[in-house]
């Protein structure tokens, strides 16, 4: 299981780096919102992978909070873009 979770963590790290590159180099606010949303999904996947690796459900409450906060943030920024433009 250690090998599998290590491979999963590595793949997730590559995906996170790609998201961060898009986040830094993007042109518009909507681009950054999409990249941040994907980054939060990757963070949730990473925490779940760590839980599977350590066989403990200690961090799973964090997952619920991060998932909810991710949606709240995305919806908030989307409303902001729609009001302001750009």
Partner 1 sequence: MLTVLSGVLMITGALLAVIAGAGLQRFENVLSRMHAATKPATLGLALVLIGAAIQIPDPRSGVKLLLVILLQFSTAPVGAHLVGRAAYGAGPEMRGRIDVDELAMDRPEESSASG
Encoding tokens for residue 56?
């403990």
Q: Shortest CA distance to 40 belongs to which of 14, 13, 70? A: 70
For residues 21 and 70, give the distance between their C-alpha atoms in angstroms, rounded to a whole number: 19
CB of 55 to partner 1, least distance (A): 6
Taking residue 68's Cβ as centre, other Cβ atoms within 10 Å add up to: 10
Under the criterion CB under 8 A, does residue 43 sit at the interface with partner 1?
Answer: no
Residues lying near partner 1 in the complex (CB under 8 A): 1, 4-5, 7-8, 11-12, 14-19, 21-22, 28-31, 33-35, 37-38, 41-42, 44-45, 48-49, 51-52, 55-57, 60-61, 63-64, 67-68, 70-71, 74-75, 77-79, 81-82, 85-86
């Amino acid at each position: 299981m250690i090998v599998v979770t290590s491979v999963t963590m590595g793949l997730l790290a590559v995906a996170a780096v790609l998201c961060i590159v898009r986040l830094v180099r993007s042109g518009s606010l909507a681009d950054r919102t999409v990249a941040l949303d994907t980054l939060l999904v990757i963070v949730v996947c990473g925490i779940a992978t760590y839980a599977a690796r350590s066989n403990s459900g200690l961090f799973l409450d964090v997952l619920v909070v991060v998932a909810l906060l991710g949606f709240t943030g995305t919806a908030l920024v989307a409303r902001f873009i729609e009001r302001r433009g750009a």
